């Protein structure tokens, strides 16, 4: 598919088939993603790629722990101004609606959130980290890399789900993945084939058009 088609068809998949993904395919995707730009070519991304038993052990430990969140960085603001609050609420209730989860069903919501830790059933999970000595510019560069990876996966007919849910569980993750203390857990990512029968995979999120978030100067 074209780059435009890959970008337009990218979705955050929340139910995967168990179909294996060869290591060479994953390594190829990471090599392509690493062509992302980074300030002075620092390439701040680091990853721990799991499949098979290592992935199962990590997932089981995270699901069993029910550990309180303890993130090393703040992903979201303490309070959400508009329009971000409305967007956040809409995507949440759209997803829960597809899954038949009603307002107030907090236990069902928790179980759905915990599916993050199983990488939504994907056969490949990656934990991404960054050297804690680096600054915000390198975190911005990291976004290019992660975006490249999701789009490159579509080019191979694969799907992904970037997952911030792993960052607050870095202590448990370190018990199962050899991440040194000088690295911060940025996020996880599931990679595999989307389950076409899963209702949650029909979720289509909205995007504001360019004319709403940009000002165009120099055109009549």
For residue 96, CA distances in Å to 79, 105, 106, 112 come to: 22, 10, 11, 9
ω before 83 within 30° of 0 (cis)?
A: yes
Question: Does 92 reside within a domain?
Answer: no
140 lies in some domain: yes
Residue 36 falls inside a structural domain: yes
Q: Is the pLDDT of residue 220 over 80?
A: no
- pLDDT digits 0-9 by tens, 163-215: 999 999 999 999 999 999 999 999 999 999 999 999 999 999 999 999 999 99
Q: Is residue 220 part of a domain?
A: no
| pLDDT above 70 as % of the chain | 100
Q: Is residue 158 part of a domain?
A: yes
Would you say residue 218 lies in a domain? no
CA 100 – CA 93 distance, rounded (Å): 10
The answer to the question of residue 94 being in a domain is: no
Q: How confident is the model at residue 99 (pLDDT cuts 50, 70, 90)?
A: very high
Instruction: Please tell me the total count of domains within the chain.
Output: 1
Please report the pLDDT score of residue 71 as a whole number: 85
Instruction: Output the pLDDT for position 138.
Output: 98
Please tell me the predicted confidence (pLDDT) of residue 27: 98
Confidence of residue 69 (pLDDT cuts 50, 70, 90): confident
The overall average pLDDT reported for the chain is 96
CATH number of the domain within which 45 lies: 3.40.109.10
What residues make up the domain containing 144? 3-76+116-203
- pLDDT given at position 67: 76
Q: Which of 70, 171, 165 is nearest to 118 (CA)?
A: 165
> pLDDT tier at 38 (50, 70, 90 boundaries)?
very high
Give 105-148 pLDDT, tens digit per residue: 999 999 999 999 999 999 999 999 999 999 999 999 999 999 99
Query: Is residue 39 included in any domain, yes or no?
Result: yes
- Cα–Cα distance for residue pair 213/186, rounded to 1 Å: 27
How confident is the model over 150-166, as pLDDT tens digits? 999 999 999 999 999 99
Adjacency order of strands within the sheet including 46-51? 46-51, 124-131, 183-192, 159-163
Give Dmax (Cα) for the chain: 60
């Amino acid at each position: 598919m074209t780059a435009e088609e890959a970008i337009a068809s990218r979705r955050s998949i929340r139910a995967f088939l168990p179909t294996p993904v060869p290591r060479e395919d994953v390594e190829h995707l990471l090599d392509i993603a690493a062509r992302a730009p980074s300030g002075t070519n620092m390439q701040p991304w680091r990853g721990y790629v799991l499949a098979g038993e290592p992935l199962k052990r990590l997932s089981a430990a995270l699901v069993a722990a029910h550990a309180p969140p303890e993130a090393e960085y703040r992903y979201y603001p303490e309070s959400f101004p508009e329009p971000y609050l409305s967007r956040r609420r809409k995507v949440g209730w759209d997803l829960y609606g597809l899954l038949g989860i009603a307002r107030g069903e907090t236990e069902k919501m928790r179980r759905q959130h915990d599916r993050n830790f199983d990488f939504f059933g994907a056969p490949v999970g990656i934990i991404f980290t960054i050297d804690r000595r680096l600054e915000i510019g390198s975190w911005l560069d990291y976004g290019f890399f992660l975006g490249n990876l999701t789009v490159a996966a579509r080019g191979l007919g694969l799907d992904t789900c970037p997952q911030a849910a792993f960052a607050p569980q870095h202590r448990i993750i370190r018990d199962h993945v050899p991440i040194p203390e000088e690295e911060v857990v940025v996020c996880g990512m599931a990679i595999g084939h989307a389950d076409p029968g899963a209702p949650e995979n029909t979720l289509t999120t909205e995007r504001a058009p360019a004319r709403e978030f940009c000002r165009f100067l120099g055109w009549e």
